[in-house]
Structures are given as C-alpha cells and as structure tokens.
C-alpha cells in the first residue's frame, strides 16, 4: 500500500495507524511524505480517529505534524467532541492544551460537556467544568432529543460535583 493511497473507505495508512494508536508508524509515514490531514470518505481525519479511540500521544504527534485539532466534520463534531463522547479524559486535556474549543456545539446544539454528561463520563465532565464549560439550565434531554437520544434524567452540575467528590 502506498503511503498516500486510501482503501475503499478512504482511509490512508496514516489514518489507520492513528486509529490504532501507532504513533511511531504515523511518524514514519509522515517522514515518507504521507499527508497527516487527509480525511476518510466520511470526513474524519487521522487526528479525529486517534481522539475517538483515546490515543493521546498520537493526537499530540499529529498536531505537531500539522494536523488541525479544531477541524470539524460536516455535522460540526470536532476531535474534542468525540473524545468527550467516548470518555477519553486525557485526550480531552491534550486537545484543550492545543486550543480546541471545548464549548463548540455540533449541528443540533449539543456541546462536548453535554455529550460527556449524557454518556456519564464524570472525569471528562469534571475536566470541562474546570475550564469553564457549563451545562445548560434546561435538561440535556431537551437538546439530545433532536439527536434521537433518550432522557439523561436531569443531570446537573451540582449533581456531578457531588458524584466526583465521592471519589
């Protein structure tokens, strides 16, 4: 396989290495001229793939190599959104350090802290609260219903703080 030729899904070798968290392979492919920003057919970039799987070192490397840590997909989802959705707190912290907007909503208005709360990722919620992200006064379910999700049962910042203090 060429260092630039994508497979049938549009995934390049860099994308596949990033998805699996193989930072050394990503570095080697970049040395040989691979584009670290080339998206797959669905619009996800190698950095987005690494963030979705919780590969902090690969996210950091891709950013060093020129990948944009803030680039959104067509629906507005950013790497920090997908990392928050999947509960990857260390990746969320890394993306914050790379100036990712931790408050940017996707197409239906859902923000990273809201999706992290919906998925019950307490550490991610705590991280996002610590940098000033806020949960809306209305229930998350009012926003998430547009996305076809069920109710979150009234998650509030004060409930989250009680849950995280118990640890």
Question: Nearest-CA neighbor of 11 among 58, 69, 56, 50?
Answer: 50
- Which CATH number is 1-68 given? 1.25.40.20
pLDDT over 90, % of the chain: 65
End-to-end CA distance of the chain: 48
Residues of the chain with CATH 1.25.40.20: 1-68, 80-87+100-167
Q: Which fold has domain 80-87+100-167?
A: 1.25.40
Which position has the higher pLDDT, 24 or 150?
Answer: 24
pLDDT in tens, 67-104: 999 989 888 899 999 999 999 999 999 999 999 999 99
Q: Whole-model pTM?
A: 0.80
Three-state secondary structure call for residue 126: helix
């Amino acid at each position: 396989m060429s260092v630039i030729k994508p497979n049938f899904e549009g995934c390049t070798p860099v994308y596949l290495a990033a998805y699996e968290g193989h930072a050394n392979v990503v570095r080697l492919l970049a040395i040989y001229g691979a584009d670290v920003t080339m998206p797959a057919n669905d619009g996800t970039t190698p950095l987005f793939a690494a963030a979705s799987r919780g590969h902090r070192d690969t996210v950091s490397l891709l950013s060093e190599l020129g990948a944009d840590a803030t680039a959104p997909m067509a629906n507005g989802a950013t790497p920090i959104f997908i990392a928050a959705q999947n509960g990857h707190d260390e990746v969320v912290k890394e993306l914050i350090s790379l100036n990712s907007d931790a408050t940017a909503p996707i197409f239906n208005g859902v923000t990273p802290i809201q999706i992290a709360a919906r998925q019950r990722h307490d550490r991610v919620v705590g991280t996002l609260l610590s940098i000033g992200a806020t949960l809306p006064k209305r229930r998350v379910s009012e926003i998430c219903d547009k996305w076809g999700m069920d109710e979150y049962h009234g998650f509030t910042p004060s409930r989250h703080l009680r849950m995280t203090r118990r640890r």
